[in-house]
Chains A and B, each alone.
Chain A
Amino acid sequence: MSAKPAPSALAAAFREYNATALASLIRSLGGDFELAEDALQEAWLSAASAWANGFPANPGGWLVTTARRKALDRLRRTAIGARQLEEVARAMLLSASMEFDDPQPVLNDDQLRLIFTCCHPALAIEARVALTLKTLGGLTTGEIARAFLAEETAIAQRIVRAKRKIRDARIPYRVPEAHELPDRLPGVLAVLYLVFSEGYSATRGESVVRRNLCDEAIRLGRLIAQLMPDESEVLGLVALMLLHHSRRAARQMEDGELVLLDEQDRSLWDRAAIREGRSFLKRALSAQRAGAYQLQASIAAIHAEAATPEETRWDEIAALYDRLIEVSPTPVVALNRAAARAMADGPQVGLALLGEIEGLASYHLYHAARADLFRRLGRTDEAATAYRAALEFVTNEPERRFLERRLAEYG
């Protein structure tokens, strides 16, 4: 019997290499997602036995090479494949020459190309997000479904449809030209922020911070910032992600329990990330075109400045939320604004603002926020009822345990 790599080692390799190998493969196969995915899956099957005696020196390269051969074999076997084979050959020649001639690693980044394809405006926004999370973030359809409170089958269908449209309508697999960028950028940034948020507060499981996703979103954000240094919202988004990410070590105790912002050990905050985030924010704000990401980053920066929770400038934060709700009038922003106003002007004001919000009845944080304000007003019965409502909708384990602790105190 031949030794097989431990399933856990293969699973770890899958997490590490699959997304980048897929991005590279999609490009070299002329943008055919389905073919790339099928071929990569076959390559993993081969890897399970070929890697029995140890991993190759360059597992990512091994996967791409093997999968590309499997894809070409597949194309040769089908009639329509013959024509596609020609295009793939052209695409491969093109990419080969680009790799040799173009010294700029940024333009060669397959994932950047892929993100602009996945975020193409000809795809529905829900499809863009799902496709990006699946292909670039490596999330399962189940995780995506939970992140967006949708049925898993609906998400799977959405992804299949999007891939089919990319192939059949020929959505190009390239970074847009300079003049196309203003139209294409907001959709890409929205997707990146969703990827980051998904990593920052995982919808399920034990780890609050799924660092891979956050790192990936920040990495792609930096890449776009390098490509478009004058786009203030790109800089604002990178700043926002870095400032949130700086708190990762303080957000969770060793046993996995969640720590609220005002209870965090601020000495654990990543000073380097804060500095870098603030420097991105400074560059962004110098353009004098404050958008939603810059406003949110400004809020995060004020939190980062406070040495203790008591020193937090809630009046400034509440004022920034007042501006943010103008730019992006969503129920979740309204929820955060209510919480900030409660800190600046008292729980009564916060509760009144929460009462005006519609559409968050099945969002656990809405009930948690109400519970917290009732608690601070000493209205313990109402607090307990609201904590129970929050528990009904929470999906994240650490958050569930936090809410249960609070309920035990007041229930």
Chain B
Amino acid sequence: MRYLFLIASDERTDIPYGTPEWDEHMAAYRAFSAECQARGAMVAADPLQSVETATTLRLKHGELVTLDGPYAETREQLGGYYLLDCKDEAEALALAAKIPTASRGSIEVRRCAGHDSRHISHDGPRYIVLIYGAEQDYLPMDDPRLATMMGEHQALTARTLETGEYAGGDGLYPPSLAKTVRVRNGHAMVTDGPFAETREQLGGYYIFACADLERALALARQIPIVSGCLEVRPLLTV
């Protein structure tokens, strides 16, 4: 089973870049990634650029409006992700507790819903498009619009695979099934639900490889949504 691990922390109190503490933090991340590789769990992982680089496309009166900033001004913000294959939720939660940021922020664990989620590595700039919506606004399974929507997702995936811009993406099991892991004083605590109590929650994502934000926004606009918004964040390319 594939799980998406959302790493959230408060950027204002994050360990500053360039300090010896930051070196230790990075060493811990390298060790965790190595462990995931060794277990054969690793699919993909990326840090995100600061939340200050976020742009949101919000659906208003049937139109997507471009706005500066993330989908919601929460204290903790998404700073990176791991995409890992785990045999069950117990293993996923155990791995989440080992992510270095778990000791100071929150790790939201979400099971991926897709059957054909692919990850294609790219050298150039990439953007993650986070699809946010309120769970009560999800289309019911028997809504005919759902099939249309899935068709549009498949078409977008096919188109961007063709152009070489597709770098990943998947739908997620509903936010109500999310688990959040925090390690405090050496103890892992698991709570039900996402890391932030916001009305809108992550429902899926795409990763696109493209030259600039303009193109990333144009691709994001092709993602079918019936409510909520799309947050576009550049990945930190190292």
A residues near B (Cβ < 8 Å) are 120-124, 127, 161, 164-165, 168-172, 176, 180, 183
B-side contacts of A165, CB under 8 Å? 52-53, 68
With the chains together, A171 CA to B54 CA distance in Å?
11
Which of A127, A164, A172 touches B214 (beta carbons < 8 Å)? Answer: A172
With the chains together, A150 CA to B68 CA distance in Å?
19
Q: Which of B10-64 contact A (CB under 8 A)?
A: 49-50, 52-55
A-side contacts of B217, CB under 8 Å? 122
With the chains together, A176 CA to B217 CA distance in Å?
13
Report the minimal beta-carbon distance from A186 to chain B, rounded to whole angstroms: 12
13 contacts between A and B (CB under 8 A): A121-B67, A122-B68, A164-B50, A164-B52, A168-B52, A168-B234, A169-B55, A169-B213, A170-B234, A171-B213, A172-B211, A172-B212, A176-B214
Q: Are A124 and B213 in contact (CB under 8 A)?
A: no
Q: Are A168 and B214 in contact (CB under 8 A)?
A: no
Report the minimal beta-carbon distance from A121 to chain B, rounded to whole angstroms: 4
Q: Is B125 an interface residue (CB 8 A)?
A: yes
* CB nearest to A127 among chain B residues: B68
Q: Are B213 and A170 in contact (CB under 8 A)?
A: yes
Which of A124, A168, A183 touches B53 (beta carbons < 8 Å)? Answer: A168
Q: Is B176 an interface residue (CB 8 A)?
A: no
* CB nearest to B68 among chain A residues: A124
Q: Is B66 an interface residue (CB 8 A)?
A: yes
With the chains together, A171 CA to B68 CA distance in Å?
12
Q: Are A169 and B53 in contact (CB under 8 A)?
A: yes
B-side contacts of A180, CB under 8 Å? 214
With the chains together, A122 CA to B212 CA distance in Å?
12
With the chains together, A113 CA to B233 CA distance in Å?
23
B-side contacts of A120, CB under 8 Å? 213
With the chains together, A127 CA to B55 CA distance in Å?
14
Report the minimal beta-carbon distance from A132 to chain B, rounded to whole angstroms: 15
Which of A122, A172, A183 touches B55 (beta carbons < 8 Å)? Answer: A122
Known: A122-B66, A161-B52, A168-B53; 17 extra A-B contacts, CB below 8 A, are A120-B213, A121-B67, A122-B55, A124-B68, A124-B69, A127-B68, A168-B50, A168-B52, A169-B49, A169-B53, A171-B212, A171-B213, A172-B212, A172-B214, A176-B214, A180-B214, A183-B66
Q: Are A170 and B55 in contact (CB under 8 A)?
A: no
- Given the known interface contacts A122-B68, A169-B234, the answer about A164 and B53 at a Cβ–Cβ threshold of 8 Å is yes
A-side contacts of B214, CB under 8 Å? 171-172, 176, 180
With the chains together, A171 CA to B53 CA distance in Å?
10
Interface size on B, residues (CB 8 A): 17
With the chains together, A390 CA to B66 CA distance in Å?
38
B-side contacts of A170, CB under 8 Å? 125, 211-213, 234
Q: Are B52 and A122 in contact (CB under 8 A)?
A: no
A-contact 0/1 string along B64-92, CB 8 Å cutoff: 00111100000000000000000000000
With the chains together, A349 CA to B194 CA distance in Å?
57
A-side contacts of B66, CB under 8 Å? 121-122, 183
Report the minimal beta-carbon distance from A27 to chain B, rounded to whole angstroms: 14
- Given the known interface contacts A168-B234, A169-B234, A170-B213, the answer about A123 and B52 at a Cβ–Cβ threshold of 8 Å is no
With the chains together, A172 CA to B211 CA distance in Å?
9
* CB nearest to A167 among chain B residues: B53
* CB nearest to B49 among chain A residues: A168
Q: Which of B85-132 contact A (CB under 8 A)?
A: 125
With the chains together, A123 CA to B66 CA distance in Å?
9
B-side contacts of A122, CB under 8 Å? 55, 66, 68, 213, 217
* CB nearest to B234 among chain A residues: A169
Report the minimal beta-carbon distance from A3 to chain B, rounded to whole angstroms: 43
B-side contacts of A171, CB under 8 Å? 212-214
* CB nearest to A128 among chain B residues: B68
A-side contacts of B55, CB under 8 Å? 122, 169
* CB nearest to B69 among chain A residues: A124
With the chains together, A171 CA to B69 CA distance in Å?
14
Report the minimal beta-carbon distance from A338 to chain B, rounded to whole angstroms: 31
B-side contacts of A161, CB under 8 Å? 52
**Can you list the 5 inter-chain pairs with the closest CB atoms, starting with the nearest?**
A121-B66, A169-B53, A122-B55, A124-B68, A172-B212
* CB nearest to A180 among chain B residues: B214
With the chains together, A164 CA to B68 CA distance in Å?
13
With the chains together, A171 CA to B234 CA distance in Å?
11
Report the minimal beta-carbon distance from B68 to chain A, rounded to whole angstroms: 4
With the chains together, A176 CA to B50 CA distance in Å?
26
Q: Which of B176-217 contact A (CB under 8 A)?
A: 211-214, 217
A-side contacts of B54, CB under 8 Å? 169
* CB nearest to A164 among chain B residues: B52
A-side contacts of B213, CB under 8 Å? 120, 122, 169-172
B-side contacts of A172, CB under 8 Å? 211-214
With the chains together, A122 CA to B213 CA distance in Å?
9
Report the minimal beta-carbon distance from B220 to chain A, rounded to whole angstroms: 11
Q: Are A123 and B68 in contact (CB under 8 A)?
A: yes
Report the minimal beta-carbon distance from B212 to chain A, rounded to whole angstroms: 4
B-side contacts of A169, CB under 8 Å? 49, 53-55, 213, 234
With the chains together, A121 CA to B50 CA distance in Å?
18
Most chain A beta carbons < 10 A, residue from B54, B66, B69, B234: B66
* CB nearest to B54 among chain A residues: A169
* CB nearest to B125 among chain A residues: A170
With the chains together, A107 CA to B50 CA distance in Å?
33
Report the minimal beta-carbon distance from A78 to chain B, rounded to whole angstroms: 13
Report the minimal beta-carbon distance from A39 to chain B, rounded to whole angstroms: 22
With the chains together, A169 CA to B125 CA distance in Å?
9
A-side contacts of B212, CB under 8 Å? 170-172
With the chains together, A164 CA to B217 CA distance in Å?
18
